Each structure stands twice: as structure tokens, then as C-alpha cells.
A and B are shown apart, each in its own frame.
Chain A
Amino acid sequence: MKRTQPKGTLVSRPIRKFSWLFLLPTFLAFCIGFVWPFMQGIYLSFCNFNTPKDATWMGISNYVKVFNDAGFRNAFKNTALFAVVSIVIINLAAFFIAYALTQKMRGSNIFRTVFFMPNLIGGVVLGYIWSMIFDGILAKYNTYLTANATYGFWGLVILVAWQQIGYMMIIYVAGFQSVPEDMLEAAVIDGANRWQTLFQVIVPNMMGSIAVCTFLTLTNSFKMFDQNMALTGGAPSVMANGAKINMTELLALNIYSTYNINKNYHGVAQAKAVIFFILVAVLALIQQYVTRKED
């Protein structure tokens, strides 16, 4: 029998009539939860506003203020540094833990369970737990977490590594398990040692997992907020060249605290948010592009 219509029409045509059921509810919610706030956000970044009702057009003055804001520049620097450090630490640790756990080893399931556990706990709660622990340790050396920026920065790195290593480890474990058995066997037959097998057979086969994990750690560190707020809240803050700097503040927290200065800063905070969005979007696109190319 000859097909009179392209494949799929039999299914697709009746669904079309049900777009109000299948598509519309989600689309409406999507407009409320994303599309409208996004567009309004772009508009308000050019305004001075307390609420959207009383917005007055300001042109680019908010953006000018952002670029003159030493606190924002510092938060940007912190975030970039934090992203680099945490990407390296988390991925290296997660990769090797996953590698070990996929070897023949007693208790590997228990370890997997334990390492993943912190992901079930919210960032605010984690922040409070770790600030107690860091302060407890540092008190033995007569100091405390917010005494200087170094403690706060590394404290956050440790917290985030502790939390995310387990998550990335799960992804790497899945990656290790998807390396074709016969390639491993071939490597053994060829007389490759453990390290050669790892770097010449396993790693090339796992570029997918590595890309996913790098992407996740990158966006996670750029969007970091809860942990930053609960652990140090940006403290300590110092006066430098007549401007105040919150030494351990990352970008997301900087945006949030700018908004809360007072109503004249709502527009500035929104402008920072737009810049932040562009930054995250560009990073994501570059990352996607690089990964595609390697595939």
C-alpha cells in the first residue's frame, strides 16, 4: 500500500486540535514564570523604579553606575576565580572518586550513597552547617571565618566541593560504565597499563560526561547564591579607595544586596542582572560550541 501522507501526520494532525490542552497551560505558565518577567526585567533595567507601576525611564544611567561600581567588579573577580578553582577541584576529585568506585571494591555502593548525600540538603542549610564547623575549627586558632577574605573564599570552595563532588561523581560513574567493554579488553590484550588505559581509552570515551560536568560546575558556580549568603553573606567588608567592598561576595549575592540598598538601586540591580545574564549566556554558548566541535 502506498503512503498518501508523510510519516507522523496520522498522529500529529489530531494533536493539533488539542493544542489548548497539551501546549497552552504550560505555555501560559511559562509566560508568567519566564517570558514576561524576562522582558519586563530588560525594560526595568533602563528605569528607576520602586515597583513597576512607578518606573521612570532613565536611559543607560543604570549601566553606567554598574560599570563604576567597585563592589560589582570585585564580585565579578571573585566569581571568576571561584568558578575556575571549583571547576578544577570538583571535576578532578569527582572523576577519580568515580574511577575508584567503578573498580572492584568492597563498599563502593555505600560510598556512592554517602558522597551524594549533601545534594539533598539545601544551600542555606549547608551554609549554616559549615559556618558552624569553620568557626569551630578557626576558633582553635583564635580567629573566625569572616576575619578575612581568604578564609571565606576557601570556605565556600570547600563547602561547594563537598556538596557537588557527589553529584558529578554520579555522572562520571555513568560515563565509566558506558565505556565499551571490548575496548577495555582490547587495551588489556595490547598490554596497556592502568594509566595508559585511563588516558588513551577511557578519557576519550568520556568526553561527553566531562563536558556535562564542566558545564554544570561552571553554571553552578556562576549562579551560586544560597551558600554564599548563608556562609559569609559577603563579609568581611572593607573601605578601599573610598568605596566599600564585600570581600567574599559573588555576583548573584551582589545583585541581590544592591537591590536591597534602597529603592534608587532597584534599577541598578536589574541592570546588573541583565549583565549577569549576558555573561552566563555567553559562557554557556562558548561551552556548547567547544563541546560540539570536539564531538
Chain B
Amino acid sequence: MKKALTLLLTLAMTLSLAACGAKKEEAPAASAPAASAPAASTEAGSVYYLNFKPEADQAWQDLAKLYTEQTGVEVKVVTAAGGNYSDTLTAEMAKDAAPTLFQCGNAQGLKDWGDYCIDFTGTKVLDEMTTSDFNLVDENGAVKCIGYCYEAFGIIVNTALLEQAGYTLADITNFETLKAVAEDIHARSAELGFDAFSSAGLDGSSSWRFSGHLANMPLYYEFRDDGVTAQPATITGAYLDNYRNIWDLYINNASIATTSLPTATGDMSSGEFKEGKAVFYQNGTWEFAGLVDAGIPAENLAMIPIYCGVEGEEKAGLACGTENCWAVNAKASQADIDATLDFIYWVVTSEEGTQMMAKEFGPIPFKNAAESENVFFNDANEYMANGNYTVTWAFNHTPNVDSWRATVVTALAAYSADQSDANWEAVKAAFVDGWAYEYSVQNG
């Protein structure tokens, strides 16, 4: 009884203080710690963030330390090993000291972890958001996960090399023109000293670019035609011929032998692009810093949509979306939930937090976002401003995503070594039958 009363009082206090904080819009960074301090004194809440991106681990650790120094609230950041996020999350959630803040980035995540997500409605961090496009909302309208950053992917172009080959970006407006340019560059690769595409490796470090991002193209167009907005039980694969078009173009216009693709890594592919041995490199906004660090001037970099021969694709934009959504553990203690909400509010409003976010994740969809120098985001925005349609991340609907992708990669690898129609049928089976199978497994 007494405990419940204390909890209630704490709750009331935190809420009223949070309201105060929201009023003082001018100094949000200062008010957030102020709000959390009294809560910490009655029943010390703490934050446990199970981070999803190993490459951002250090930045999160530093930020957490800074926050603890400033507010005294303990923030533990743990990064799951690559490819192991769902395993780690499952294991950690079963523990008594479960994560209070975790990633839940797609329909599948929402299905698995929806019970563990608080409703963000009415929280001050939600008020800070500039768009709700990247949030995940359940069937009752509860905002379960908030997209704290977004990303765009497409074909990254080294414009200097493109010009050296005698073309400009304006020459590429659809699949036909992309194909013409790429095949011409490939034919003259010996003379030019570079090839059209960097290697489309299917090693685990690289294959997600094709089983995830590239596969988004047929999925997006199919869902657009059929008006699909929720995860479908089956797909038709209506645009798989387009998928084949672009895949053939990638693998047949690169310096690497198609039989070597299965073991070719992501490092090899980015290496070829960084060393100026390839004009095109399919990847996303997150690559920007690495490319600039490798010595390619920002003004020589551009990102264009992935064209695959769909009618009207001249008006396509980049593929924008996110798998990076925060969820707050509803089964954590109220004090921990409050501490966690305070922490993320601080991350998206404070100077230190927004700087870090801009550096690691590009422009974040929050009012106080720091500027980003990433030219790929500028490209994404320009396409939007010109009225091109944004290719949304249809692959977020993929059931049992890792398993589905693994099967597609296996089939793609076999097809690449021997580009026969029979092998393409296996890719189709992995795509379409695999979807139905994984859907039934996931919901079985």
C-alpha cells in the first residue's frame, strides 16, 4: 500500500515537472535534467539502452557518460553483436534488469514486442518531432515506436568519374539510360581505368544491400499498385522482372567475376568505390562520412534513385525510411520509464545530443536537429522538393526478415554464377514462396 502510494506520488511529481519542462520551450536542455532529478531522489530511475548499431556504439557510450555526469542518472548502453539484435533483445528482455530503451523498427518488431512498448502519445519527446512518417503506430492508434532518424538509399555516383567517361547526372533518368551509360563504361573499362558498378558481393557483410534495399524496389511497386499498407500474408512478385533487370546490370557491368560474388564482402565493394575503380555503388546515406574520409570530395558525390525499368520511374525519388525506432519498455518500473523518456528527450534537444545524432545519423526529425553536411540527404530532399515520389521502405513489412533474406541471398548467389531462367525461378520461389512461408511461421 505504502509502496503504491510512493509510486503514485512520484508519478504525479514527475508528470507535473514534465509539464513545467514542456512550457519552458526556450531551454529544453536545462529543464530535462531538472525534471529527472527529483524523480531520481525518491526512487532512482535508470536507463538501459540496448543499442542496435555497433558503429555508433562509442558515440552512445560517450553521450551516456556525459548525461550521467550532468544529471547523476545512470545510463547503461549495451550494443548487441552484429546480426544478433533480436536474439539479444529476447534474452535481455527475459531478465529482471531488462532494457528500458530498445529498438523496434518494423512491423515484425511491433508484433513481437508491442506488449513491451509504451504509448508515446502525450510525451514531450513526441512533441519535439517534426514528422510522424517514421513512427510505428498500432491498430489502436497508440504510438509505440518513434523513428529517431531516417535514412535514404539509392545508387551512389562518383560524378567526377562519370564526367571523365563523358556523361553527366542529367544523362541518367531511368533504367534505359542507366543501362546505356553503365554498359558503355563497362565496355571501355580497360581504357578508362574504372568500371561501372562496384562489386555486388553476397557475403553477409554486403548481401543486405540486395536482399534488403534492392529487394525494396519490386516490393514497393507491388505494394503501391495493390494499395498494401499493412504486412501482407503473400506477395505476387509482379515486379521481379525489374529486380532481375537491375541485378543483371549490376553483376554484368562490374570488374568482379560473377562467380566470385558469393564471398565478396562489403569492404571490397566500398573499397572499389573509394579507390575510384567504380562509378556506381548502391548504398545509403550512412556511407557519406566514410566516403569523405576516404578522400572523395563531397562535391563529387551524389545519390540517384535505383532505376529498374518501371513505367514512370523518371519521377522517382530516393528510398527514404528508417528501421531505427525507439521503444520504451512498458514493463520497466515507472521510475525507469520516466528516466528513459527524460534521457531521449535530452538526446534530441540538447546541444551535445543533437550534435552527436547529426554526426552519426544525419538530420533527425526533431525540431532542434543540428545541421548535417551529408550531401545525400540534400539529394533526398531535392527530389522531394521537385515533386518526385519517395520510394518508401516497403521491406519493413518483410516477415521474419533475416530468415527471408538469407533464402533470397542463397538463390541470388546460385543465379549469379549461372544466369539461367531456371535459376531465376529459384530466386522467385525464395522471394514469393519464402514470404508466404515466413509469414506463416511468424504468425503460426
Contact = CB atoms under 8 A, between A and B. Distances in A.
B433 A239 contact: yes
Q: Which of B93, B403, B436 has the most CB of A within 10 A?
A: B403
Contacts, number: 72
Interface in B418-444: 426, 429-430, 433-434, 436-438, 441-442, 444
A237 B406 contact: yes
B263 A239 contact: no
Interface residues of B, number: 33
A269 B268 CA distance: 38
A16 to B, nearest CB: 39
A244 B403 contact: yes
A135 B265 CA distance: 13
A137 B429 CA distance: 30
Interface in B248-294: 257, 259-260, 262-263
Main secondary structure of the interface of A (DSSP, over half): mixed
A135 B93 CA distance: 37
A207 interface: no
A155 B420 CA distance: 28
A239 B407 contact: yes
A139 B94 contact: no
A142 interface: yes
A243 interface: yes
B437 A239 contact: yes
Interface in A232-266: 235-239, 242-244, 260-265
Contacts of B90: 50, 260, 262-263
B78 interface: no
Interface residues of A, number: 24
Given A237-B407, A237-B410, A263-B112, A244 B436 contact: no
A261 B87 contact: no
Interface string A257-294: 00011111100000000000000000000000000000
Nearest to B404: A244
A239 B442 contact: no
A262 B110 CA distance: 12
14 contacts: A50-B94, A142-B259, A143-B262, A236-B410, A237-B407, A239-B429, A239-B437, A244-B407, A244-B438, A260-B87, A261-B400, A261-B441, A262-B86, A265-B441
Given A143-B259, A238-B426, A261-B403, 14 more contacts: A50-B94, A143-B262, A144-B263, A147-B262, A147-B413, A235-B410, A242-B433, A242-B436, A244-B434, A261-B441, A262-B86, A262-B90, A262-B108, A264-B442
